[in-house]
Structure 1
Amino acid sequence: MWKWLHPYAKPERAFALCTTLLPWFGVSALLILATGTIWGLAFAPADYQQGDSFRIIYLHVPSAILSMGTYSAMAIAAFIGLVWQIRTAHMAVAAIAPVGAVLTFIALFTGAAWGKPMWGTWWVWDARLTSELILLFLYLGVIALYQSFEDKEQGSKASGVMALVGVVNLPIIHYSVEWWNTLHQGATITKFAKPSIDSSMLWPLLLCILGLALLTGAMCLYRLQNELLRRESHRPWVRAMLLEEEQNAV
């Protein structure tokens, strides 16, 4: 079942895959994200209650969704690394964590900025906001735990375990608006039968989500490349690649 994954356990194969995918992810992300953002900010109609202030949705919702999606990807990489002892999966955890932390911070900041005019306050200890803040702390904990070990192999395993433990917070974030009384609004775009948002606002939002997902993928690929080079700098394939680049530059 996992035979397709085995070749990418080799750092040089993983690096080559990142090199191949990175331009596609990057260019697609810029085109789609620019289209969705311009469409949403300039051409989507204003909300009948919130006016133009609702347009922060085109940054807040994608970053909130991707903050959880990125954590899921990090946890999957941690699981693969711990179960099958694949070093590149551990490196992926280290590469993904800072990207996810930034996405979570953006989600919290834009949520606070949106909540101020709507709720009259920047912050409340709302179930959704509190669990999202815990997600930020989990990301920071994974990063800090990895950096605290001089032996990065041990640091990778420890941070991987922490990433897996933190998965329990994801369903809490998702279902918090259903399990508790909360100021945060309920599901909108995930109600596929009948989304609680007009299509003229929905389509640019979906483009922003897709564009940010591709941009997140591009950033993770770029960071994984750097992590591979940093951890494998003593390997012959890295030295051969750098030598080839120097010769091509000349």
Structure 2
Amino acid sequence: MATTLTERRSEAARGADWREILIWAGTALGVAGMYMAILYAPEEATMSHAQRIFYVHVPSAWVGFLAFGVVFAASVGFLWTRRRSFDLAAHASTEIGVVFTTLAIASGAVWGKSAWGTWWTWDPRLTTTFMLWFIYVVSLMVRAYGGSGGQSARFAAVLGIVGFLDIPLIHLSVVWWRSLHPLPVVVSSEGFGSGLPPEMLYALLVNVAAFTLLYVALFSIRRAQMGAQDAIAAQRDDDRRSTFRRGLPGIQEGSR
């Protein structure tokens, strides 16, 4: 088991370099994206400068969906194989997905206050997004209070699959039901980005790329941390068993 812990540390050291590159690349793209959002993209005719929250709101929502897509795939893998690595990937991506979905909801509330005059309304898009956030928060609570592995991991995996099924509903909610939320302008039936001026689309894509790189880096870091914690816990359990076995002869001699 000591070899396993050493391998974990070696793997973490090898991964540190490319994670650092991802963080710096994501940060650089983020700075460029914010510059484009504020100074390059034109002012929106109806909402004026308040619309610039769009360049944080949409990338945050995208990364939330991406993270929960990873949760879905890892949860299916875990239920199919019972491999701990899939469970760790689902757990790490859930944590990051909740953070970015919270940012999407918060930035949407600020935007909604300017556009609609209210911080929150039970609009179909907002309600289905809140449902997604809530399901994954419950998943984290199950893991926090139910321990690692076993039944809690299986229940969290089921929640990860069920929660992901809400994502198509979020996208289609503004089409199916009357909504205050604008219709899709990035991915729509008229073509990708057809609802945006080119400058707005370019600024958005740069920010989406920045947020995506940061997600990949954060996911890799958190997944490695969880793997190291697992290895340390296994090492401690192995040490306890070894200590117990060494003490058995003495206990047996004393009982005679």
The two structures have a TM-score, normalised by structure 1, of: 0.84
The CA deviation at 1:84 is 2.2
Q: Is the 8 A contact 1:74 1:93 kept in 2?
A: yes
Q: Pick from 134, 142, 147 the counterpart of residue 144 of structure 2.
A: 147
The CA deviation at 1:235 is 5.3
For the residues of structure 1 that align with 2:14 and 2:161, how far apart are their CA atoms?
Answer: 25
The equivalent of 2:37 in structure 1 is 40
Question: What are the equivalent positions in structure 2 for 1:221-236 lying under 5 Å apart?
Answer: 221-234=220-233
The two structures have a TM-score, normalised by structure 2, of: 0.82
The equivalent of 2:254 in structure 1 is none
For the residues of structure 1 that align with 2:104 and 2:210, how far apart are their CA atoms?
Answer: 16
Higher Cα Rg: structure 1 or 2? 2
For the pair 1:106 / 2:103, whether they are aligned, the reply is: yes
Question: What are the equivalent positions in structure 2 for 1:13-162 lying under 5 Å apart?
Answer: 15=12, 18-19=15-16, 21-162=18-159
Q: Is the 8 A contact 1:78 1:93 kept in 2?
A: yes
Q: Is there any run of 5+ residues in structure 1 with no aligned partner, and where?
A: 1-9, 237-250
- SS at the partner of 1:124? coil
Larger mean Cα displacement after TM superposition, 35-44 or 178-187 = 35-44
Q: Is the 8 A contact 2:19 2:217 kept in 1?
A: yes
Q: Is there any run of 5+ residues in structure 2 with no aligned partner, and where?
A: 1-6, 236-256
Q: Is the 8 A contact 2:33 2:203 kept in 1?
A: yes
| Superposition CA RMSD, Å | 2.1
For the residues of structure 2 that align with 1:124 and 1:176, how far apart are their CA atoms?
Answer: 14
Q: Is the 8 A contact 1:80 1:89 kept in 2?
A: yes
**Paired letter, 1:219:** L
For the residues of structure 2 that align with 1:156 and 1:13, how far apart are their CA atoms?
Answer: 27
For the residues of structure 2 that align with 1:50 and 1:187, how far apart are their CA atoms?
Answer: 16
Identify if the C-alpha distance between structure 1 residues 148 and 195 changes in structure 2 by more than 3 Å, giving closer, same or farther: same
Q: Is the 8 A contact 1:14 1:88 kept in 2?
A: no
